Copies of this chain bind each other. A is one copy, B any other.
Protein backbone atom coordinates (compact mmCIF):
# COMPACT_ATOMS: atom_id res chain seq x y z
CA UNK A 1 0.00 0.00 0.00
CA UNK A 2 1.32 3.45 -0.87
CA UNK A 3 1.95 5.67 2.15
CA UNK A 4 0.05 8.92 2.48
CA UNK A 5 3.25 10.74 1.58
CA UNK A 6 3.45 8.83 -1.68
CA UNK A 7 -0.22 9.49 -2.37
CA UNK A 8 0.32 13.21 -1.84
CA UNK A 9 3.30 13.31 -4.21
CA UNK A 10 1.37 11.46 -6.88
CA UNK A 11 -1.69 13.64 -6.51
CA UNK A 12 0.42 16.78 -6.61
CA UNK A 13 2.20 15.55 -9.71
CA UNK A 14 -1.17 14.96 -11.35
CA UNK A 15 -2.18 18.55 -10.65
CA UNK A 16 1.11 19.95 -11.95
CA UNK A 17 0.81 17.89 -15.11
CA UNK A 18 -2.63 19.36 -15.72
CA UNK A 19 -1.11 22.83 -15.87
CA UNK A 20 1.04 21.94 -18.87
CA UNK A 21 -0.17 18.67 -20.36
CA UNK A 22 2.31 16.57 -22.29
CA UNK A 23 5.44 18.02 -20.72
CA UNK A 24 7.67 16.75 -17.95
CA UNK A 25 7.19 18.43 -14.58
CA UNK A 26 10.50 19.93 -13.40
CA UNK A 27 11.72 18.79 -10.00
CA UNK A 28 11.93 22.29 -8.59
CA UNK A 29 8.27 22.89 -9.34
CA UNK A 30 7.24 19.76 -7.53
CA UNK A 31 9.49 20.71 -4.63
CA UNK A 32 7.79 24.05 -4.33
CA UNK A 33 4.33 22.53 -4.64
CA UNK A 34 5.11 19.94 -1.98
CA UNK A 35 6.82 22.43 0.32
CA UNK A 36 10.00 20.41 0.53
CA UNK A 37 13.57 20.98 -0.51
CA UNK A 38 14.53 19.91 -4.08
CA UNK A 39 16.84 17.14 -2.87
CA UNK A 40 13.93 15.54 -1.08
CA UNK A 41 11.95 15.41 -4.30
CA UNK A 42 14.84 13.82 -6.18
CA UNK A 43 15.04 11.06 -3.56
CA UNK A 44 11.31 10.49 -3.54
CA UNK A 45 10.87 10.55 -7.30
CA UNK A 46 13.60 7.94 -7.72
CA UNK A 47 11.72 5.70 -5.32
CA UNK A 48 8.44 6.31 -7.16
CA UNK A 49 10.15 5.54 -10.46
CA UNK A 50 11.43 2.27 -8.98
CA UNK A 51 7.91 1.32 -8.01
CA UNK A 52 6.62 2.16 -11.47
CA UNK A 53 4.38 5.10 -10.58
CA UNK A 54 6.32 7.75 -12.50
CA UNK A 55 8.61 8.11 -15.48
CA UNK A 56 11.70 10.01 -14.44
CA UNK A 57 14.20 11.61 -16.76
CA UNK A 58 17.14 12.89 -14.70
CA UNK A 59 17.75 16.63 -15.05
CA UNK A 60 14.64 16.94 -17.22
CA UNK A 61 11.64 16.18 -15.07
CA UNK A 62 9.01 13.63 -14.18
CA UNK A 63 5.65 12.39 -15.43
CA UNK A 64 3.04 9.94 -14.15
CA UNK A 65 2.88 6.48 -15.67
CA UNK A 66 -0.54 4.94 -16.34
CA UNK A 67 -0.28 3.25 -12.95
CA UNK A 68 0.58 6.53 -11.33
CA UNK A 69 -2.32 8.30 -12.97
CA UNK A 70 -4.66 5.57 -11.80
CA UNK A 71 -3.48 6.06 -8.23
CA UNK A 72 -3.77 9.83 -8.53
CA UNK A 73 -7.36 9.56 -9.70
CA UNK A 74 -8.16 7.17 -6.90
CA UNK A 75 -6.83 9.61 -4.31
CA UNK A 76 -8.68 12.43 -6.03
CA UNK A 77 -11.88 10.42 -5.89
CA UNK A 78 -11.45 9.90 -2.16
CA UNK A 79 -10.60 13.56 -1.61
CA UNK A 80 -13.57 14.89 -3.50
CA UNK A 81 -16.13 12.45 -2.19
CA UNK A 82 -14.99 13.20 1.35
CA UNK A 83 -15.31 16.93 0.71
CA UNK A 84 -18.80 16.57 -0.64
CA UNK A 85 -19.78 14.32 2.22
CA UNK A 86 -18.58 16.81 4.79
CA UNK A 87 -20.55 19.60 3.14
CA UNK A 88 -23.67 17.66 2.21
CA UNK A 89 -24.08 15.40 5.19
CA UNK A 90 -22.28 17.00 8.10
CA UNK A 91 -23.08 20.57 7.19
CA UNK A 92 -19.61 22.02 6.75
CA UNK A 93 -19.01 25.18 4.77
CA UNK A 94 -17.22 24.63 1.45
CA UNK A 95 -14.26 26.62 2.75
CA UNK A 96 -13.54 24.23 5.63
CA UNK A 97 -13.41 20.87 3.96
CA UNK A 98 -10.25 20.88 1.87
CA UNK A 99 -7.83 20.51 4.77
CA UNK A 100 -9.95 17.82 6.41
CA UNK A 101 -10.09 15.88 3.15
CA UNK A 102 -6.35 16.25 2.74
CA UNK A 103 -5.93 13.90 5.70
CA UNK A 104 -9.01 11.71 5.35
CA UNK A 105 -8.24 10.88 1.71
CA UNK A 106 -5.50 8.58 2.99
CA UNK A 107 -7.48 6.64 5.57
CA UNK A 108 -10.79 5.99 3.84
CA UNK A 109 -10.99 2.37 2.69
CA UNK A 110 -12.56 1.41 -0.62
CA UNK A 111 -15.45 -0.11 1.29
CA UNK A 112 -16.20 3.13 3.09
CA UNK A 113 -15.67 5.08 -0.11
CA UNK A 114 -18.26 3.06 -1.97
CA UNK A 115 -20.76 3.50 0.86
CA UNK A 116 -20.24 7.24 0.83
CA UNK A 117 -20.59 7.33 -2.94
CA UNK A 118 -23.89 5.47 -2.77
CA UNK A 119 -25.07 7.48 0.23
CA UNK A 120 -24.56 10.69 -1.74
CA UNK A 121 -26.27 9.27 -4.82
CA UNK A 122 -23.18 8.85 -7.01
CA UNK A 123 -22.42 12.55 -7.34
CA UNK A 124 -20.51 13.96 -10.31
CA UNK A 125 -18.68 16.87 -8.70
CA UNK A 126 -17.30 18.02 -5.37
CA UNK A 127 -18.48 21.19 -3.57
CA UNK A 128 -16.01 23.31 -5.54
CA UNK A 129 -17.11 22.00 -8.92
CA UNK A 130 -14.25 19.57 -9.46
CA UNK A 131 -15.35 16.37 -11.18
CA UNK A 132 -15.26 13.18 -9.12
CA UNK A 133 -13.49 10.32 -10.90
CA UNK A 134 -15.61 7.19 -11.06
CA UNK A 135 -14.55 3.96 -9.39
CA UNK A 136 -12.86 2.83 -12.61
CA UNK A 137 -10.74 5.96 -12.68
CA UNK A 138 -12.52 7.83 -15.45
CA UNK A 139 -12.80 11.55 -14.87
CA UNK A 140 -14.91 14.13 -16.67
CA UNK A 141 -13.18 16.86 -18.60
CA UNK A 142 -11.97 19.69 -16.37
CA UNK A 143 -12.33 23.08 -18.04
CA UNK A 144 -9.08 25.01 -18.31
CA UNK A 145 -10.34 28.49 -19.11
CA UNK A 146 -10.23 30.88 -16.16
CA UNK A 147 -11.92 34.20 -15.54
CA UNK A 148 -8.74 35.99 -16.62
CA UNK A 149 -9.17 34.91 -20.23
CA UNK A 150 -12.88 35.59 -20.55
CA UNK A 151 -14.17 37.81 -23.31
CA UNK A 152 -15.69 40.99 -21.88
CA UNK A 153 -19.44 41.05 -22.27
CA UNK A 154 -19.80 37.31 -22.93
CA UNK A 155 -21.85 35.10 -20.61
CA UNK A 156 -20.11 32.19 -18.89
CA UNK A 157 -20.96 29.56 -16.32
CA UNK A 158 -18.66 29.06 -13.34
CA UNK A 159 -17.48 25.46 -13.50
CA UNK A 160 -15.00 25.22 -10.67
CA UNK A 161 -13.36 27.29 -7.94
CA UNK A 162 -9.92 26.35 -6.59
CA UNK A 163 -10.37 25.12 -3.06
CA UNK A 164 -6.99 25.47 -1.41
CA UNK A 165 -7.58 28.92 0.09
CA UNK A 166 -10.37 28.99 2.64
CA UNK A 167 -10.33 32.78 2.83
CA UNK A 168 -10.89 33.11 -0.90
CA UNK A 169 -13.71 30.57 -0.88
CA UNK A 170 -15.55 32.61 1.75
CA UNK A 171 -15.09 35.73 -0.35
CA UNK A 172 -16.30 33.92 -3.47
CA UNK A 173 -19.37 32.61 -1.71
CA UNK A 174 -20.27 36.08 -0.38
CA UNK A 175 -20.17 37.33 -3.95
CA UNK A 176 -22.11 34.51 -5.54
CA UNK A 177 -19.08 33.17 -7.36
CA UNK A 178 -20.01 29.51 -6.97
CA UNK A 179 -20.24 26.60 -9.43
CA UNK A 180 -23.15 26.83 -11.87
CA UNK A 181 -23.53 30.59 -11.32
CA UNK A 182 -23.72 32.54 -14.59
CA UNK A 183 -21.53 35.56 -14.89
CA UNK A 184 -20.34 38.22 -17.28
CA UNK A 185 -17.03 40.06 -17.20
CA UNK A 186 -18.08 43.70 -17.29
CA UNK A 187 -14.67 45.20 -17.80
CA UNK A 188 -11.05 44.28 -17.74
CA UNK A 189 -8.07 46.52 -17.06
CA UNK A 190 -4.75 44.91 -17.90
CA UNK A 191 -2.75 47.72 -16.34
CA UNK A 192 -4.62 47.63 -13.04
CA UNK A 193 -4.38 43.85 -13.33
CA UNK A 194 -8.03 43.59 -12.36
CA UNK A 195 -11.44 42.81 -13.79
CA UNK A 196 -15.03 43.46 -12.82
CA UNK A 197 -17.43 40.57 -12.93
CA UNK A 198 -21.19 40.69 -12.70
CA UNK A 199 -22.93 37.73 -11.27
CA UNK A 200 -26.30 36.97 -12.85
CA UNK A 201 -28.97 36.93 -10.09
CA UNK A 202 -26.97 39.45 -8.09
CA UNK A 203 -27.06 43.20 -8.00
CA UNK A 204 -23.54 44.38 -7.14
CA UNK A 205 -20.72 43.43 -9.51
CA UNK A 206 -17.40 42.65 -7.89
CA UNK A 207 -13.77 43.35 -8.66
CA UNK A 208 -11.08 40.70 -8.76
CA UNK A 209 -7.32 40.90 -9.13
CA UNK A 210 -5.87 38.56 -11.73
CA UNK A 211 -4.50 36.06 -9.24
CA UNK A 212 -7.95 35.77 -7.68
CA UNK A 213 -9.62 35.58 -11.08
CA UNK A 214 -7.26 32.76 -12.02
CA UNK A 215 -8.82 30.68 -9.26
CA UNK A 216 -12.15 30.59 -11.03
CA UNK A 217 -12.65 28.27 -14.00
CA UNK A 218 -15.44 28.85 -16.45
CA UNK A 219 -17.28 26.94 -19.15
CA UNK A 220 -19.76 28.03 -21.86
CA UNK A 221 -22.99 29.44 -20.45
CA UNK A 222 -26.04 27.21 -20.56
CA UNK A 223 -28.67 28.29 -23.09
CA UNK A 224 -31.15 30.94 -21.99
Contact = CB atoms under 8 A, between A and B. Distances in A.
A100 B86 CA distance: 18
Contact of A111 (B100, B108, B119): B100
Interface string A65-93: 00000000000000000000010011110
A110 to B, nearest CB: 11
Contacts of A3: none
A43 interface: no
Contacts of A116: 90
State the number of copies, please.
2
B115 A90 contact: yes
B89 A119 contact: yes
Contact of A91 (B86, B104, B115): B115
A105 to B, nearest CB: 9
Nearest to A112: B100
Contacts of A103: 107, 109
A96 interface: yes
A55 to B, nearest CB: 31
Interface in A10-63: none
Contacts of A89: 89, 119
Nearest to A92: B115
Nearest to A114: B90
A96 B92 CA distance: 27
A106 interface: yes
B112 A90 contact: yes
Given A90-B115, A104-B104, 14 more contacts: A86-B112, A86-B115, A89-B89, A90-B112, A91-B115, A92-B115, A96-B111, A100-B111, A100-B112, A103-B107, A103-B109, A104-B107, A104-B108, A107-B107
7 contacts: A90-B115, A90-B119, A100-B109, A100-B111, A103-B109, A104-B107, A104-B108
